Structure 1
Amino acid sequence: MLEESRDHEEIIERVAALDVGKATLMCCVRVPDEDKPGRRLQEVQSYPTMTRSVLGMADHLHALGVTRVVMEATSDYWKPIFYLLEAAGFEVWLVNARDVKHLPGRPKTDRLDAVWLAKVAERQMLRPSFVPPPEIRQLRDLARYRVDLIGARTAEMQRAEKLLEDAQIKLSVVASDIFGVSGRAMMASLIAGERNPRVLAQLARSSLRKKISQLEEAFTGHFTEHHSFLLRTMLARVDQVNHDIAQVDTAIEELISPFAGTAIDRLDEIPGIGAIAARAIIAEIGLDMSRFPTAAHLASWARFAPGVRESAGKRKGRGATGHGNRYLARVLGEAAVVAGKSHTFLGERFRRIARRRGTKRAIVAVGRSILTIIWHLLSDPDARFIDLGADFYDRRLGPERKKRNHIRQLEALGYRVTLEPA
C-alpha cells in the first residue's frame, strides 16, 4: 500500500558553499537566473582566509542576496570563517564531511568540491551540525583545556613514579597515592638530600603510619643527585599544572554562573554527576535542548545509541555506537561507573547489565540513561530528578518473574498449580 511521503523537495534559491583551507577558501554561489526561469546561475571564486578578505566575501554574498552559507567541518579552519559569517547575519551551516562525499570516479578539486557542496545544499540534502552559541563555545574551550591539563599532570606524575622505580624506591608499592601529603613530604626530603630510610619512613602521616616497616624497606634504594634533579623538575611541573587547573576552574565558574547556576544544581542531583561533571556536560551540549527534538536525538548525536546496519534482511556488525564527542563520552562514562557503585536505580541498572552483557555495555547503557535524564532536566526548568530506587526492578519485575518461574518448575514436576491471593 502506498503511503504519503513527508519529504519536501524545496530548492534554496540563493545559497553559497565554501571549501575551506588554511590559507584560501573556494566559494561557490548559486542563484536563480532572472532572465530564464527554472535555470540557475553559478559563480566560483577563491578568497584568502584573512579577515579583510572574508568580510569582503560576506559583502559580496549580501549583494547577491545569499541567505544560507554551507561549509564542511575541516580541522579547525572552519571556525573563524563560521564566526565571521555568523556575525555578518548569514544562516551558516556546518556539515559533516561524510554527508557530502563526492561521487566516485569524478575528479576532486577544491573548485569541484565547492560546486558539489552547493548543489547538494540547495536541494536540502544536508543537515547542519550542532554548533553551540558563543558563551557555550567559550565554556567548551575552557572545559576541554582543563581535561588536557589533567592529562598533562597525569603524564608527569607517571614519569615521577617511573623515576622512583629507576632509583629502586618502591614508594608506590606501599602508598596508594604517592602524591598525597605523606608522599610529597617524603619526595621533598629525598630531593633535599635525605637518604636514611628510617627518617624518610617517619614522615608518614595518618593511616600510612601503620606501614612504617614497609616504608623503610621501600626507601632502601640508590637515589642519586641525578634522580633528585629530575624529580625536582617533575614535581615543579605538577605544581604548576595544579595552579593552572585552579585558574581554569575559577574562569569556568565565573563564566557559567550567570546563565547556568540553577542547571548545575539540578544536574548535580543525578547519581554520578558532580558540579565539575555538570559544567563539562553543559559545555558540550549547551542549555538549549530545542536543538535536539527528543532525548533520542541527543543520544544519537553523542553516539550513545548503537547503530543499526542491515543487509539482505540480516543485521550486520555488533551494534557499535561509533565515535562521538570524546569529551562528553569521557564524562558520561565516568559518571556511569560512579553511579554503578551507588545504591540507586542507575546503580542497580548498571550492575544488572554488567552481569549479563559486560561492563562496557553497562557503561554505554547507563550513560545513555544519564543523558536522557539530562535532556529532560534541561528541557523543563521546573523538572527535578527523582530516583526510582535500587529496588525498582524487584518491585516492578521481581514478583511476577519469580511467580512464573516457580509455576513452570512445579508443572515440570507434574503438578497442576492454582494460585489464590493470601
Structure 2
Amino acid sequence: MREVEDEPLFIDRVAGLDIGKKEIEVTIRVPGDSGSGRRMSETRTFGATRAELLKLADWLRCWSVGTVGMEATGDYWKPPFFVLEAEGFDCLLYNAGQVKALPGRPKTDRADSIWLAKITERGMIVSSFVPPEPIRRLRTHTRYRRSLVQARTAEMQRVEKLLEDAHLKLSSVASKLFTESGRAMMDAIVAGQRDPKVLAQLARGRMRSKITALEEALDCSFLSEEHVAVLTMMLATIDHHQRQIATLTAAIEQLIEPYARQVEQLDEVPGIGTIGAADIIAEIGVDMRVFTTASHLVSWAKFAPQVKQSAGKRKGGNATGRGNPYLGAALGEAAIGAGRTQSFLGARYRRLNRRMPKKKALVATGNSQLVIIHALLSDPEARYTDLGADYYETRMHVRRQARNHVKGLERLGYKVTIEAMAPDENHLPVTPTR
C-alpha cells in the first residue's frame, strides 16, 4: 500500500443552489483557515425574489465565491441563474438526471445544496448549454410563435371535424380547407348563406373546375344553429392566432437582425428557410465554440442513435433519446422540406427511406443538416455548396449500379440479361444471377 496525492479541486470557492419555487438553499464551500486541505462549509436559506437574490449575491461576494452550480428544476432555475449571471458570477446549470440523489443518501434540500457544491468544486459534471441573453430574448419569441402555430393548426382540425358533424363534405372536395375559396365559403355560411349553388360559386382558381362537386358537398340540410355558433367562435380564434403570429414574426425579424449573416448562410441549406433559420439560431445560438465538434452538437440535440450494449448484446432500439423539442421540431420540418428537393439532402433522404422507416430517415437527414449547420456557423466565410442530387450515382461504380438494377427487376419476377453498349474497363457485361 502506498500513499498517493489526492487530485486538486477543480474550483476552490464554490456555491451549490438547491432551487425551489419560494426558497433557495445555498451552500458555500471555501478553503479552511488551517491550510491543511480541509474545507469550510455553510448553508443558508434565501427567498426566490429579486431582492433576496441580490442579498445572496452580496453574501457570495463576502466569501469571494465566483462559481455557482445549480440544478435545472423546471423553470425555477431561471431567476437565480439570470440574476447571478448579471451580477458577474460564473453560473453552471446541471441536468437534473445527472445529479439525482444516490441510493442511501438523505434527500433534503440542505443535503442537495451540499451535494451540488461538491459537484461544482470537483468539476464532476459538464454544465448544460444556456445561450446568452440576446439569444434568450429571440428564443422566447420563436418558441411562443411555434406554440401559436400549433394551436392554430389544432383549431383548423377542429373546424374540419365540425363540418363533418354538420355533413358538409368540403374537405372531401378541396385539398385544403383554409384556402381563399374555403374560407370565403365558411364565412358565407356564418353570415347565413345556405344555398349550395351560391356557396359553390365562391370558388376561386382551380376550385372553379369542381363546382358540381362543391354543390353536392355544401348541402346545408343538416347544418344547425349550434354548428354555426361554434364555427363562428372557431374562425374568430383562428384569426386571433393569425394576428398574434404576424405580430411575433415582426418582432422576431427585428431580434434576428444582428444575425442576418448567419440566417443567410442557413437559408442556403435545402429545407431551411428564414423562419427555420431563426428557430434554429434561437435554440443553439451562433457561437459554435460551445459545441466543440459537429458530433457534439448532434449528440446534444439527440439526433444520433444511442447504442446500449451489455455482455456483447445490444439493448434497446437505438433510440436517440429526448432532446430539445423546439430544435427537434425545426429540424424535422427542415428534413421533410429537404426530402422533397432535388438536392444532395433530398437524395440522401430518399436513399435512406428505401431501407429504413420514414422517421429514422428524417432523423438521419436532420443529423446531416446539423453537421452542415455547425460547419456554416463555425466559419463566417463559409457558404453552402450542394453536392447535387446525383451525388451517390456518380460515386457508385457502374457495375454496382447495374447489379442493383438487375436485382431490383429480379425481385419483381423478371429474368434479366444485359450487355454493355461500349465495353471498356468501366462498362463490363454483367452476368445475370439466374
Instruction: Identify the range of structure 1 (180-189 vs 294-303) with the bigger mean alpha-carbon deviation.
Output: 180-189
Instruction: Classify the secondary structure of the residue corresponding to 1:92.
Output: strand
Question: Equivalent residue of 2:256, what SS?
Answer: helix
Q: Which moved more, 1:347-356 or 1:393-402?
A: 393-402
Instruction: State the AA in 2 paired with 1:191.
Output: V
| CA deviations over 1:220-254 (Å, ceiling 9, x no partner) | 13222222221111111111110110000000001
Residue type matched to 1:113 in 2?
A: D
Once residues 199 and 253 of structure 2 are traced to their aligned partners in structure 1, the CA distance between those partners, rounded to angstroms, is: 40
Q: Which amino acid aligns with 1:241?
A: H
Displacement of 1:315 in angstroms is 2.2
C-alpha displacement at 1:126, in angstroms? 1.1
Taking structure 1 as the reference length, what is the TM-score of the superposition? 0.92
Q: Does 1:298 align with 2:287?
A: no
Q: Tell me by how many angstroms 1:116 deviates.
A: 1.1
Aligned-partner SS, 2:160: helix
Cα distance, 1:402 vs. partner?
4.2
CA contact (8 A) 2:162 2:227 kept: yes
Equivalent residue, structure 1, for 2:414: none
| Structure 2 unaligned spans of 5+ | 1-6, 406-422, 428-434
Q: Structure 2 matches for 1:160-179, cutoff 5 A?
A: 160-179=159-178
1:381 aligns with 2:390: no
Deviations 1:103-144 (A, max 9, x none): 102221111111111112211101110000000000001000
**Structure 1 ranges of 4+ moved more than 4 A:** 402-406, 418-422
Change (3 A) 1:421 1:87: closer
Find the aligned partners of 1:263 and 1:419 in 2 and give their Cα distance.
48
Q: Secondary structure in 2 aligned to 1:291?
A: coil
- Secondary structure of 1:159 counterpart: helix
Partner secondary structure for residue 130 of structure 1: coil
* Whole-angstrom distance in 1 between the partners of 2:349 and 2:404: 24
Aligned letter for 2:374?
Answer: W
Distance in 1 (alpha carbons) for counterparts of 2:8 and 2:250: 50
SS of structure 1 residue aligned to 2:289: helix
User: Residue 378 of structure 2 aligns to which amino acid in structure 1?
Assistant: S
2:342 corresponds to: 343
Query: Does structure 2 conserve the Cα–Cα contact (< 8 Å) formed by 1:377 and 1:385?
Result: yes
Check whether the contact 1:167–1:223 (CA below 8 A) recurs between aligned residues.
yes
Letter in 1 for 2:251: A
Amino acid at match of 2:99: V
CA distance in 2, matches of 1:176, 1:214: 13
After TM superposition, the structure 1 stretch with the greater mean CA deviation from structure 2, 165-174 or 294-303, is 165-174
Name the amino acid aligned to 2:218: F
Q: Name the CA distance, whole Å, in 1 between partners of 2:196 and 2:404.
A: 63
Deviation at 1:9, TM superposition (A): 5.2
Contact 1:9 1:124 in 2 (8 A): no
Aligned length: 405
Structure 2 match to 1:415: none
The corresponding residue for 2:230 is 230
Are residue 83 (structure 1) and residue 94 (structure 2) matched?
no
Alpha-carbon distance between aligned partners in 2 of 1:184 and 1:11, rounded to the nearest angstrom: 63
CA offsets per residue over residues 37-76 of structure 1, 9 Å max, x none?
2100110111111111110011010110111100000000
Taking only the aligned residue pairs, the percentage that are identical comes to 54
User: Conserved in 2, the CA contact under 8 Å of 1:174 and 1:211?
Assistant: yes
- CA distance in 2 between counterparts of 1:82 and 1:327 reads 22
Change (3 A) 1:202 1:385: same
Cα-to-partner distance string for 1:137-191 (whole Å, 9 max, x where unaligned): 0000100000010111112112222221121111111111111111111111111
Measure the CA separation in 2 of the matches of 1:136 and 1:364: 25
Shift of 1:314: 2.4
Runs of 5+ unmatched residues, structure 1? 1-7, 407-417
2:284, 2:61 → 1: CA distance?
31
Q: Secondary structure at the match of 2:234?
A: helix
Distance 1:405 1:281, change over 3 A: closer
Instruction: Return the offset for 1:10.
Output: 3.5
CA contact (8 A) 2:303 2:320 kept: yes
Structure 1 match to 2:415: none
